[in-house]
Structure 1
Amino acid sequence: MTPYPHSFKRFTVAASLCAAAVLAPLPALSQQAVVQDGIKVRPLSTSRIFAGGVDFNEQSKQQYTQLVNEAREKNALVPDSDPQVKRLRAIAQRIIPFATRWNEAAGSWNWQINLLNSDQVNAFCMPGGQIAFYSGIITKLNLTDDEVAIVMGHEISHALREHSQAQAGKGNLAAVGAKLAGAGLSAWLGVDPSITGTATNMAAQGVMLKFSRDDEREADLIGMDLAARAGFDPRAGVILWQKMAALNKGAPPEFLSTHPSGKDRISQMNSHMAQVLPLYARAKGVSVNDLPAYRSNAVASR
């Protein structure tokens, strides 16, 4: 292997440090946590204010309407009378009343939920409360109601915590930081600005990947909290990600992914189970010690 020139090593390390210094204040924009029962409620990230004035809720509503209309034209929209659609909407009706705990604006959202006939193992909730499940996630993982609730709670949490808005704001700040860092390094090292710009952009992208993984971790915990308050077993989250891990053996390394590894997610869920199990027990009107063991469905054979 050909060794890198000493000067290249110097500005690459400096680029990473400089970009990190510029971007480091971003997580600090969140205020001090407020301790409450269940998962701690923190203020929404103030990075949202740097998103550029985009009305995410209105934009998402239009995109969702277009998606539903296109699915209907292609006979991929499962009808309202279908038992699985009724099942999803019944679960949503139990979860949604607890949404305002995490975002007061959710009380005025026009919540919608639809099922799309697709083999994809996926689901989402857009800003403003538009939810879609793909039939593949239900059938391939043979989800119980508790596991559906965990998935739904997770996706709803992204909308409640305004992760899309915060990511847009952080992205704008990261881009500015990368440009400033690149210009500073170019002047200091006396090298082509395009080279230092590339290095600082790569460093910025690494930080943004971490932000995205942090959003996923937050959504996992809030999703368990929402499900538990609605009377769904939060232990289903562990089983859900065991099933997901079995389907995603070829996933990229965690440090290159916008999603934490399945092992990481399961570990985090288990470490917070003592906070959410009492919520589930309370919803069921029993003590934690009286809760029966969680029982799942076997994954459907391929």
Structure 2
Amino acid sequence: MRWTHCLAVGALAIALTACTTSPTGRSQLTLMSDQQLDQMGQQAFAQYQKELPSVGGAPQRYAECIASAIVDVLPERERNQNWQIRVFESEQANAFAMPGGYMGVNTGLLEIAETQDQLASVVAHEIGHVLARHANERASNQAVTQIGISALGSAAGLEGPGGEQMMAALGLGAQYGILLPFSRRHESEADSIGLMLMADAGFDPRASIALWENMSAQGGGQPPAWMSTHPSHGQRIGGLEAQMSEAMSRYEQARSAGRTPNCPRP
């Protein structure tokens, strides 16, 4: 019992000393170093390249053109990362960005994103995840959650077979009550960051709504929002619409400053 108490207190102490602030001003827990995250991103990117064939030519140039325009408007520290993007052959309409500047876009997404601006909304969203250090925050919260569940189980005497069902229930509660809502929060925050990034780069932010309308038309039924790691399409569109006035103002400023990306769609 004493050891469990010390473990819980130790976890709390770590959490209190590892609080940072996201680009939107939200407090977050980040226990891992940037070097650790960058290494994990490099390893994950290498694995992704082993599992899916890359696509060169016009699709690769298209993705690079869009990504470069967005990277150019990042804060200096983030802009100087070794950003790179690859197009992968996959029917899944997916994209990602990892710590260290590793980005990927699937060919399935190129079919749904009908314009450069629509694809830019996805790339900017994924870059938003990196800027907000969401991978660090998610890993940190999962680690602290597991420590808390273990400490609670020991304190309540649930170590034996009779406590397995209760521990499973605790784990399920943590998943749906802590981890998944955090993931939805990340997605909404990346939507917000990405919307402003694409506008600053000279991409029409209204295309973000068109993209999600396309995604909604292409996709089947979604699980209830409380069981999903992502907000529903309707929730995402509503969140984007609420910030569109600011995004359009930044878009007009970017266009006036000469930021007019022209990335030919293959």
Normalised to the residue count of structure 1, the TM-score between the two structures is 0.72
The residue that corresponds to 2:260 in the other structure is none
The residue that corresponds to 1:6 in the other structure is none
CA positional deviation for 1:65: 3.1
Correspondence list, 1:1-302, <5 A: 41-42=24-25, 45=28, 47-49=29-31, 51=32, 55-68=36-49, 71=52, 76-79=53-56, 82-100=57-75, 105-139=77-111, 141-186=112-157, 192-206=162-176, 207-285=178-256
**1:215–1:275: structure 2 CA closer, same or farther, 3 Å change rule?**
same
Q: Percent identity?
A: 31
CA positional deviation for 1:54: 7.4
What is the identity, as a one-letter code, of the residue corresponding to 1:233?
Answer: D
Specify the SS of the correspondent of 1:98.
Answer: coil
Instruction: Work out the number of aligned pairs and report it.
Output: 242
- Backbone CA RMSD of aligned residues: 2.9
CA positional deviation for 1:143: 2.1
Q: Would you say the 8 A contact 1:183–1:197 is kept in 2?
A: no
Moved more, 242-251 or 166-175: 242-251
For structure 1, the 5+ residue unaligned runs are 1-21, 34-39, 287-296, 298-302
CA positional deviation for 1:128: 1.0
CA positional deviation for 1:192: 3.9
For structure 2, the 5+ residue unaligned runs are 1-10, 258-264
What is the identity, as a one-letter code, of the residue corresponding to 1:77?
Answer: S
**1:196–1:213: structure 2 CA closer, same or farther, 3 Å change rule?**
same
Q: Would you say the 8 A contact 2:204–2:251 is kept in 1?
A: yes
**1:43–1:138: structure 2 CA closer, same or farther, 3 Å change rule?**
same
What is the identity, as a one-letter code, of the residue corresponding to 1:196?
Answer: M
**1:247–1:173: structure 2 CA closer, same or farther, 3 Å change rule?**
same
Q: In the aligned structure 2, how far is the partner of 1:41 from the partner of 1:254?
A: 23
What is the identity, as a one-letter code, of the residue corresponding to 2:173?
Answer: A
Max Rg structure: 1
Normalised to the residue count of structure 2, the TM-score between the two structures is 0.81
Q: In the aligned structure 2, how far is the partner of 1:114 from the partner of 1:53?
A: 22
Q: In the aligned structure 2, how far is the partner of 1:42 from the partner of 1:107?
A: 20
What is the identity, as a one-letter code, of the residue corresponding to 2:171?
Answer: N
Specify the SS of the correspondent of 1:269.
Answer: helix
**1:184–1:126: structure 2 CA closer, same or farther, 3 Å change rule?**
same
What is the identity, as a one-letter code, of the residue corresponding to 1:41?
Answer: T
CA positional deviation for 1:159: 1.4
Q: In the aligned structure 2, how far is the partner of 1:265 from the partner of 1:192?
A: 43
Q: Would you say the 8 A contact 1:209–1:258 is kept in 2?
A: yes
CA positional deviation for 1:178: 1.6
Q: In the aligned structure 2, how far is the partner of 1:170 from the partner of 1:65?
A: 25
